[in-house]
Structure 1
Amino acid sequence: MDFINNWIFNLGFEGKTGQYLAAAVTILLIALICIVANFLTKKVVVRIISHMVSMSKFKWNDILLKRRVFHKLSHIVPAIIIYYFAPTFPRYQHLIESGANIYLIIVNLIVISSALDAFHDIYETFEISKIRPIKGVIQIVKIVLAIIGIILIISILLNKSPFILLSGLGALSAVLMLVFKDSILGLVAGVQLSANDMVRVGDWITMPKHGADGDVIEISLHTVKVQNFDKTITTIPSYSLISDSFINWRGMQNSGGRRIKRPIYIDVNSIRFCDDEMINKFRRINFLADYIDERLVEIQKFNETHNIDRSNPVNGRALTNIGVFRAYIKNYLLNHSGIHKGMTLMVRQLEPTERGLPIELYCFTNTTDWTEYETIQDDIFDHLFVVAPEFGLRIFQNPSGHDFRNLNGEEKEMSAVGNE
């Protein structure tokens, strides 16, 4: 500063004009030094570091470059230069040093934030990231660092120790809890979700209350994003997964089988005993030949043992078309290539309703793929709807317009015959 003052004085500038001109030249000189230092840091030092990192075989090095951690770190150099040139202006030294310190704090927060983002990107390259996501933890760390940074900046502006400010936070705890309510709830929910392994990225979850039915694509501090099967995105508050119920289909996907649980409604008026003609017909069905022979021997033995008079079909035991149909369905499923044989498989009657007698299929496919599952299920029921009449059974459905038209046609024919 003395050198510049003397130089300005030698040029003929004196008094306050010379002082202002010397200060302006000094500021320009410091600004020029900062620009050159920043340029050299970015173009030389950072470029050398970037080249060395890009030549490395580790993927995390490329992630650090992508997040521009080293580029943001270069902004610290001008702040350091300004800080050490502050004594050049004794009257404003404290103000300049405070400004430089605040700038350093902000730059450091930006650099740490970028480093944390890079760490999260690196963590996501490992399989454990799907089981234990840490995005919520990263966001909490960022919030804590931001609070610390704000406290340090305020302490610099007030020229007070940051510990004095921290001691006053107790009185503001209620306000802070209100302001950061969602963050606190999200943190608690994130810890519980992770500790109990309730949901992972990639899980298929269903939550009708929030209109969610799809795959989890992101778990953060405040929200869980679900991509529905129609490609829409549903955002659910993290704490809702703790306070409300939802379905996680991961167990089904891991089991290797997906459940089929669907009934066929049979018209009860079509259920009857099997006569000899029906029994002979059933014997020619591949899945029933052995069953018919075994059941007939068992039934005959039972009736003979108990001296039952079979002249009346009500007495004793006999085959029914609905019982044979159930046996056929079970054997058909046991021989179906798309049904999992190691899981529960049964065909059962449910309580009769106004829609008829429900015959429920309860089994599992050997795939969890949605498209393949639906194809297998459709093929099974297509077949059963077609073969049911072969057993003398009618599938129940409510009368349609076609049924009423046929009924009217039959009545007209009967009236015409009567008139003749």
Structure 2
Amino acid sequence: MGQIANEIASEKVHKLLLKQSIPAAIGILVMSINMIVDTIFVGQWIGVLAIAAITVVLPIGFLISSIGMAIGIGGSSVISLALGANEVEKAKRVFGNQISLTTIAAFILVLLCFLLETHVLQLFGANGEILVPAIPYFRIVIAGVPFLAYAMMGNPIIRALGKPKYAMVALILPAISNIILDILFIKVFNWGMFGAGLATSLSYAVCGIFILGFLLSPKSSLRIGFHCLKLKKKIVAEITSLGSITLVRQASVSILTIVLNYSLFKYGNESSIAIFGIINRLMMFIFFPVLGIVQGFLPIAGYNYGAELYKRVKEVLFTGIKYATVLCIITFIAIYFLNYEMTAVFTTDTTLLQQTPNAILICFFATPFIGFQLIGAAYFQAVGKAKPALVLTLLRQSIFLIPFVIVLPMFFGLDGIWYSFPISDMLAAIVTFFFLKKETQKLVV
């Protein structure tokens, strides 16, 4: 642990940021390729309704597993700060409490989903003909969600421990297994949506088991005893204080999904939901290098802030913004020239090929501003300032976007939904700028 701490505290910031970010970006890339390939397979081998069904079901699974993500990111911030202050025992107890919280929350929510299956699916937009293919996919995917919750809880901790390569492998393994199983279950065995769901669920299990296995092994500096699993009020409060940012963000994503799917069906049809399904997959794939920078940024900023090395905190902040913005500009250029080709990868359906490229261009119009906003929001989370982090995180996905998705279609129809995305991105970036400017002026170097 000493060598890792020395690197985070003293190595050149641009080199350290790349060292942390590249494995995270590769892991996110593979995971996003996994999701894209999953959508391509069901789109090409099952049909347009299958894409719509996945678009409805996956946000439900991610909402449940986001409990694990919230506990993981909140706890990893506490762990980074504790390790920066040389409080190793506290870091271990935080990890133990994270395991207990994730276990309790995930299994309760999964049980509720099984008991309220049809109501949950309809709430998230399984309207019209979408419900039929959504049900078998939902049942098997939800069964594997607890493993996904453990994976999403543990991955940020591995990065906080300065082991980005292990975090990368944790994302690569389930991606590879899912792609192989998709081909086997959908194409070879012809199991349809059940096969797609089974492949996804088993890939969640691979990821969750690998991450927990590593963190509980002798290779981990956070190897714990059973006493660490006992919930402590103070530790739970710290985890939930910072983790609530991620949880509220994911909850807002779920609310946005409900509003979006309702509006898409109202102003369009089942195909409109499938179009957004393609755009949603592209969002994660296209932004993988930027999300890698964000993930690499978090433990470095958190550790150095905890160690009161404020000059390095400023340096990593500005370096992260610079790298993220350059990547976003390159991404926008690629979208501008290749939007039709991106669509054609997913489907041969004439309607989708006609409507999706224009929707992609509109939705990604403000891409150059997104890197700044993501790094800015991540900064406040990294340094343990929950309230501003929460506000900035909610700007794009809740405070701005949801009202626009409701109002703009009244005037512009289906296109109004697509316009909501760039308008929200630009407004969020402006607000983030003022928050960040005020905060960095307070740092005493």
- With structure 1 as the length reference, what TM-score do the two structures score? 0.23
Q: Which has the higher helix share?
A: 2
User: Greater CA radius of gyration, 1 or 2?
Assistant: 1
Give the number of the structure whose residues are more often strand, by fraction.
1
Q: TM-score by structure 2 length? A: 0.22
